[in-house]
Amino acid sequence: MAEIKTIAVIGLGLIGGSILKGLKDKGFELLGIARRKETIDQALAENIINKGSTGIELACKADLIFVCTPINKTIETINLLSSKVKPETIITDVASLKGEILDFINTIQSPVRFIGGHPMAGTENKGLDTSSENLFEEAKWVLTPSKWSNQEDLIKLSSVIEKLGAKIVITDPIQHDKAVALISHMPLFLSQSLFGMVKAYPDKDISELALTLASSGFRDMTRLATTNPELSKDMLIQNKENVVAAVKELKKYLDELEKELIENEENFEKTIEKTASQRKKMYSSEGKNVL
Ligand code: NAP
C-alpha cells in the first residue's frame, strides 16, 4: 500500500487551518491552497504549510486532498480537481452535508477516488485565525464512501484523520444528512428562533428587561445564533427537507410537554427528570460525547 506523504488542504479557514495545525510535525509535506494570497502568506508565516498557492494546481501533486472551502464551493472544487489530479490521489471534503455532494460524485464521468467526510467539531467562528490544532481531538469524523471508494483508500484516509485525534464513523450520506439535521441544524435553528422570539416579544418593556437580565443560560442557548451566517444559511437551506421534518417533530414534542405542564404536573416532573438524567450521561465532565 503506497503511503500518504503529501497532503493538500484547499480552503484555509476554521476547518482547513485546524487540519493543517493538527497535522503539523506529523511527517507529512503540507500544501495549502486559499482564495486570497494573504491567507497563504499567513499560513507560511505560521509554518503550518510547506508550500502554498492561490491556484488549485499545487494540490494536484498531493496523495490526499482535503477540500475545506465553504460548502457551496465544494462540488465546483472537486469537479475542477477531478480532471487534474493523479489517478491514485484520494480526495475528501469536510462539508456539513453529504447527500448532494455524493450524488454528484456518483454520477461524475471520470472516476475520482472520493470519500465524503464531515468532522463533527467546529465553532461559530470563521477564518484561519480561529483554527486550532486540537479542534478534532476525540471528535467523531463521519466518512461517507462513494461508488469510487475502495477499502485501501478508506484505511489510508482514516489513519490520517486518526492522527488528528478524531474517531471515524462510517455512514450513508442520506442517513448522515437526516441525523445532522437533528443535532447540528436544529440547535442552530432553535438558537436563532429563541433569540429572535425574545427580541420580537410583543411586550417591548418585558423584552428589553429580559435581554438586560439575560445571563449564562440565555448566552449558552443562543451561542449558535452567532454562527458564520454564510455557513448557517448554506446548511439550513441545503438540508431544508430534513430540517422541516425535524421542526415538525419538535413542535409535536413542545405541544406534548406543554400539555403535560398544564394538565399533569406529576408526569411533567418525571419527563424533565428523565431528560436531565439522559442528557447528563451523554457527555463526560470534559464535555466529550461518550456515546
Ligand atoms: P471558513 O472558516 O469560512 O473557511 C473557508 C475558507 O475557504 C476561507 O478561509 C477562504 O479563504 C477559503 N475559500 C473560500 N472560497 C474558496 C475557493 N473558491 N477556493 C479556495 N479557498 C476558498 O469556513 P469553515 O467553517 O472552515 O468551513 C469550511 C467547510 O467546513 C464547510 O464546508 C463547512 O460545511 C465545513 N464544516 C464547518 C464546521 C464549522 O463549525 N464551521 C464544522 C464542520 C464542517 P480565503 O481566506 O482565501 O478567503
Mean model confidence pLDDT for the chain:
96
Is pLDDT at 288 greater than 90 in this prediction?
no
Cα→Cα distances 11→37, 44, 52, 187, Å: 12, 14, 11, 26
Cα(220) to centroid(ligand 1), Å: 24
Average pLDDT on 24-36 reads 97
Sequence-distant (6+) residues with CB within 8 A of 45 are: none
Residue nearest to atom 14 of ligand 1 (CA): 69
Mean pLDDT of 170-188: 97
Pocket residues: Cβ below 6 A from ligand 1: 10-16, 33-36, 39, 68-71, 73-74, 94-96, 118-119, 122-123, 126-127, 231
Give the neighbor-by-neighbor strand order of the sheet with 90-93. Answer: 51-53, 29-33, 6-10, 64-67, 90-93, 113-119, 140-145, 167-170
| Residue from 3, 123, 11 nearest 56 by CA | 11
pLDDT in tens, 121-154: 988 889 999 999 999 999 999 999 999 999 999 9
pLDDT of residue 99: 96
| pLDDT of amino acid 123 | 86
127 Cα: distance to centroid of ligand 1 (angstroms): 7
How far, in Å, is the centroid of ligand 1 from the Cα of 206? 39
Q: Encode pLDDT of 200-239 as tens digits.
A: 999 999 999 999 999 999 999 999 999 989 889 989 999 9
Contact 122, 14 (CB under 8 A): yes
Side-chain-facing half-sphere of 4: CA atoms under 13 Å: 25
Domains and CATH numbers, the chain: 6-171 (3.40.50.720), 176-282 (1.10.3660.10)
